[in-house]
Amino acid sequence: MVWFSYHGGHSGEFCDHASSSLQQVVQAAIDEGFTHYGLSEHCPRYREQDLYPGEERLGIEGLIRAFEGYVIRAFALREEYARHIELLVGFETEKLPPENWLEAMLSLKSAHPFDYVVGSVHDINGRWVDYSPQETSRLAEDLGGTEALQLAYFRSVTDMVEQLRPDIVAHLDLVRKFEPPGFSFSDRVAKEIERLLDAIQAYGGVIDVNCAAFRNGYGPVYPLPQILSRARQMGIPATFGDDSHGVDTVGVGLEQSRQAICAAGYSQISYLTRDHGWQSADIAEVRPRRSV
Ligand SMILES: [Zn+2]
Ligand SMILES: [Zn+2]
């Protein structure tokens, strides 16, 4: 029996908007019955204007130091807890700074022997799409409307995927975070999503079925059923992401991700191992040991 998540493991020790120490997060993952758990702290940002709200007091230097601290601690915990859980150490990307994000992400990736990379886009040209409904609607207005915002977002994710080829592509449709219940993408946007899925399929990427949207009251898990079904038809593997930001969110909502994956018609789900790369498990069989 396996139970796993690869996008999450943020901790208050190294992330300003998370809580708990990294060790507490790892302990919570063990308590929740995870057999494999990925730690993917946010990468540092390299320009003042790219700091997340609240990080101003840390500044660029503080973020870089925090990330280096995360790396040391995460690799140490991976060894320390190896008998109890297989930890995988990675990081979550940004497409920032807009002009040389690829260089920044590749140099971060090569600086340490990470197990994997989670490819995420949270912005369009340095403006957040997921911070607040007000900011997102201002951004949409500036770009020419909601559809234009969505097209720009999916094009940007496609570009990230083609250039960076991350092991896991995170919260594919984050851009619909603040859309009302029952929302679905227009045909025009669906075509852009199709291009994104083609790009993921082309290099063998795996998509993150991320329960943060559901847990935080922003509709179903990412991505919406229409996207997940299409990904399944195209043979793109899916995995779990709890997007945990402290002990209170470790594993919380993953049952929704599991149901979404089943509903999309997947019979197998992929999980990453340190020794044997991607493996797959029967979707009906994965769940925490304790709840069996
Ligand atoms: Zn975060
Ligand atoms: Zn993210």
**CATH number of residue 285's parent domain:** 3.20.20.140
The 10s digit of each residue's pLDDT in 45-98 is 999 999 998 899 999 999 999 999 999 999 999 999 999 999 999 999 999 999
pLDDT of residue 287: 82
pLDDT above 90 covers what percent of the chain? 96
Cα 5 from Cα 208, distance rounded (Å): 9
Relative to the alpha carbon of 14, which ligand is closest?
1
How much distance in Å is there from the Cα of 218 to the middle of ligand 2? 14
Task: Tell me how far the alpha carbon of residue 283 lies from the centroid of ligand 1, in angstroms.
Answer: 27
State in Å: Cα 34 to ligand 1 middle: 21
Domain range for 87:
4-291
- How high does pLDDT run on average in the chain? 96
Distance 292 CA to ligand 2 centre (A): 30
Q: How far is the CA of 249 from the centre of ligand 1 (A)?
A: 12
Residues 6+ apart with CB under 8 A from 104: 43, 46, 96, 97
Task: State how far the Cα of 37 lies from the Cα of 87, in Å rounded to an integer.
Answer: 5
Q: Count how many domains the chain has.
A: 1
CA distance 232 to 195: 15
What local confidence, expressed as pLDDT, does residue 154 receive? 98
